[in-house]
Amino acid sequence: MQLQTAQRKRAKIKMGMQGPSGSGKTYSSLLIAYGLCKDWKKIAVVDTENHSADLYAHLGAYNTISLSAPFTPERYMQAIDVCENAGMEVVIIDSITHEWENLLDYHSSLQGNSFTNWGKVTPRHNDFVQRILQSPCHIISTIRTKQDYVLSDKNGKMVPEKVGLKSVQRDGVEYELTLVFDLDMKNHATASKDRTGLFFGKPEFKISIETGRMIHEWCNKGSDVSVDDISILITEVNSIKELIALYHQFPQFKEVLKPEFEKRKREILVQQEDKTTHIATTTKFNSNGKLH
């Protein structure tokens, strides 16, 4: 029995495609999927959108699984199992919004304390997210969005104000993914989350097969990523959210680097505490009790 340093041979992209209805999430996902594997027969769509994936059958002979209600996390995970067992290389989950809406309905049906009832919901959702992250397939998850509003005070009246689009999924799900594209009604894409470094900060663009090829090339470069490389990245993150995202991005290194992740977590918490203490001790008040 001998310990060996874990090393990733090939990365599998876990990405999101979010936008309102009609923005081209399914079509764009199919183009990226073909760019990733160059074989339509190795692509599967888990279709929760009433057979909408069949609309693009002219593109190629990809596979579909029609998923109907109830859209429980467990049924999604079963569909992923079917795709993996069939030898699929890319799985498109279209969409994961239904999973979260199902859990919200389940939570509202529970009796008793609403806060403690989340203990019956969160583990199921976390299992679903981890199933995606641990899959040996490339996985593209589409996510519906809706217009988000806040109430603003204007001339003494509270009026709704648009603040952009909000994904219909649990808050923070994008932190688990390596890449997230936002699509508008003109089918233009921008990257709101990008750990590949390929698209973030770039002008909006039309997704094509070439987009998938670029992602595929980035995934193949992962063969050079070693445990030492991830160890360096751990020391460079400056927030707990970034640390968690890094932890989930490279599941093959979790056990080997768990002590280093824990150490960096403690360091970040200490830094945050020191910063809070510094602000408190340097705050001064004048004789009237006002800051100066």
**Residue 241 pLDDT:** 86
- Dist. CA 195–CA 215, nearest whole Å: 11
Q: Is residue 263 part of a domain?
A: yes
Residues 274, 194 share a domain = no
Domain boundary among 223, 243, 270: 223
Q: Is residue 6 part of a domain?
A: no
Residue 87's CATH number:
3.40.50.300
Tokens linked to 156: 């003494």
**Residue 226 pLDDT:** 67
Domain boundary among 186, 202, 223: 223
Residues 243, 115 share a domain = no
pTM: 0.70
Q: Is residue 9 part of a domain?
A: no
Q: Is residue 139 part of a domain?
A: yes
Domain count within the chain: 2
Residues 187, 55 share a domain = yes
Q: Is residue 163 part of a domain?
A: yes
Q: Is residue 74 part of a domain?
A: yes
Q: Is residue 7 part of a domain?
A: no
Contact 217, 37 (CB under 8 A): no
**Residue 252 pLDDT:** 66
Residues 215, 80 share a domain = yes
Angle between helices 97-109 and 73-85 in degrees, nearest 10: 150
Q: Is residue 4 part of a domain?
A: no
Residues 132, 247 share a domain = no
**Residue 62 pLDDT:** 96
Residues 232, 217 share a domain = no
Determine the structural domain holding residue 84 and report its residue range: 14-223
Biggest CA-to-CA distance, the chain = 78
Residues 161, 252 share a domain = no
- Dist. CA 290–CA 232, nearest whole Å: 45
**Residue 292 pLDDT:** 45
**Residue 250 pLDDT:** 75
**Residue 41 pLDDT:** 96
pLDDT in tens, the chain (292 residues): 555 554 445 689 999 999 988 889 999 999 999 999 999 999 999 999 888 888 999 999 999 999 999 999 999 999 999 999 999 999 999 989 999 999 999 999 999 898 999 999 999 999 999 999 989 999 999 999 887 766 777 777 887 765 457 788 888 888 889 999 999 888 999 999 888 888 888 899 999 999 999 999 988 875 456 677 788 889 988 899 888 888 887 776 777 788 899 999 999 999 888 777 766 666 555 555 554 4
Residues 215, 235 share a domain = no
Residues 175, 250 share a domain = no
By the 10 Å C-beta count (0-12 exposed, 13-18 middle, 19+ buried), 255 is classed as: exposed
Residues 231, 176 share a domain = no
**Residue 139 pLDDT:** 97
**Residue 281 pLDDT:** 63
Domain boundary among 223, 253, 269: 223
Residues 161, 266 share a domain = no
Residues 282, 233 share a domain = yes
> Where in the chain does DSSP place strands (E)?
14-19, 43-47, 63-66, 90-94, 138-154, 157-167, 179-183, 188-194, 205-206
